[in-house]
Amino acid sequence: MENLRIPGPTPLPGEVLQAMIKQMINHRGPEFGQILNGVTANLKQLFQTKSDVLVLTGSGTGGLEAVIVNTLSPGDKVLSVSTGVFGERFASIAKEFGAEVMPLRFEWGKPADADAIRQVLQTKPEIKAVLVTHNETSTGITNDLASISRVVKEFDKLLLVDAMSSIGSINLPVDDWHCDVTVTCSQKAWMAPPGVAMVSVSQEGWQAHSKAKMPRFYWDFTRAKNYLERGQTPWTPALSIIFALAASLEMMLREGLPNILARHARVSQATREGIKSLGLSIFAQESHASNTVTAVRSSNGLDTKQMLRILREEHKVVLAGGQQSLDGKIFRIGHMGWITENDIETVISALRVVLPQAGFKG
Ligand SMILES: Cc1ncc(COP(=O)(O)O)c(C=O)c1O
């Protein structure tokens, strides 16, 4: 078995794999209703919300599209707070559907600055919504969402949050931080396969939805909510993934959210220390380094592509490269979901052997 340490998909525990081999059932029948209601209730606990949570079949990007088309109208002005590849993707979707996107970009590897957001909101009262990526998976930065939320709510704007690689492993109390729409996907902290997006919608989120005019059909929140009231989804759901999610959520609740968050903090600390012990450095500003993904700067002659290949072929350790302009400049270690310090020790030990083989002269 490979030691899969990319920032999603993440490895699945045996209990979750077992749940997936369940025979198909009628997605309009009572058994599925019970499963969906259970999944929804458990997700609400882990999202720390009393608001609605919708389970949508699609990848995380589908979830981002759902957030945009359900809350905005063509011509709406939105502030895009971007700290990397996924912040840019959120903005591109909004633009594609006709929103007028005002970008506020921060240097990759640095966190978003709440004061800079305040300055824009002060001068541009016409902005309706703010798009934020809580944990920027491409750079390994966790933005200070609590502070950003305080600023956004000072100006009474809608807060739309990409929480794909944070919620469930990095604290994100959705209600306390007044997140209006928050989206994540099954292949991250949730220890389930890719293919399901989960979205919470606040009261304000529903109000925005009632006025939103962007075209939508598959992703329509009203349809999803109406069907959920009958224990169903509007369209045929990814049954096997929802079976997996039902099992993984039970595991997560048995461990308890505070323990899960503490485990991720410990594992990420061990990752950063291990990386530094090898003579490498962390790409992200350390005050905001993520507890789910560590981006490592390539230095001292290291050929990251060769390193990734040798790790995979000779050590069965699979890490991720950098995306877009960070291609070849960083590599990333995913540490979310089903992970302990031992898994990271294996990665660091393999790196210790492979780094000199891949040109590193640290
Ligand atoms: C922060 C963030 N946003 C969006 C996505 C897109 O999700 P998907 O690849 O499932 O469409 C990802 C996945 O890596 C992500 O990490």
For the chain, what's the residue count? 362
Nearest CA to 118 out of 76, 72, 81, 160 is that of 81
Alpha carbon separation from 151 to 107, 115, 147, 300 (Å, rounded): 20, 8, 6, 41
131 CB within 6 A, ligand 1: no
DSSP 247-283: HHHHHHHHH-HHHHHHHHHHHHHHHHHHHHHTT-EES
51 CB within 6 A, ligand 1: no
CA–centroid distance, 8 to ligand 1, in Å, is 8
Residue 146 pLDDT: 98
Torsion of CA 109, 62, 223, 162, to 10 degrees: -10
DSSP 226-237: HHHTTT--SS--
Query: Model confidence at 101, in pLDDT bands (50, 70, 90)?
Result: very high
Instruction: Quote the DSSP letter at residue 23.
Output: P
Q: Which residues fall within 8 angstroms of residue 258, CB to CB, at 6 or more apart? A: none
Q: What is the pLDDT of residues 230-251, one digit of tens each?
A: 999 999 999 999 999 999 999 9
Query: Model confidence at 1, in pLDDT bands (50, 70, 90)?
Result: confident
193 CB within 6 A, ligand 1: no
Residue 362 pLDDT: 82
Q: What is the pLDDT of residues 45-55, one digit of tens each?
A: 999 999 999 99
Ligand 1 atom 10 nearest Cα: 60
Please give the structure tokens belonging to residue 200: 């919470």
337 CB within 6 A, ligand 1: no
Nearest CA to 58 out of 203, 174, 216, 170 is that of 216
Query: What is this structure's pTM?
Result: 0.98
Instruction: Quote the DSSP letter at residue 187.
Output: T
CA atoms within 13 A on the CB side of 314: 14
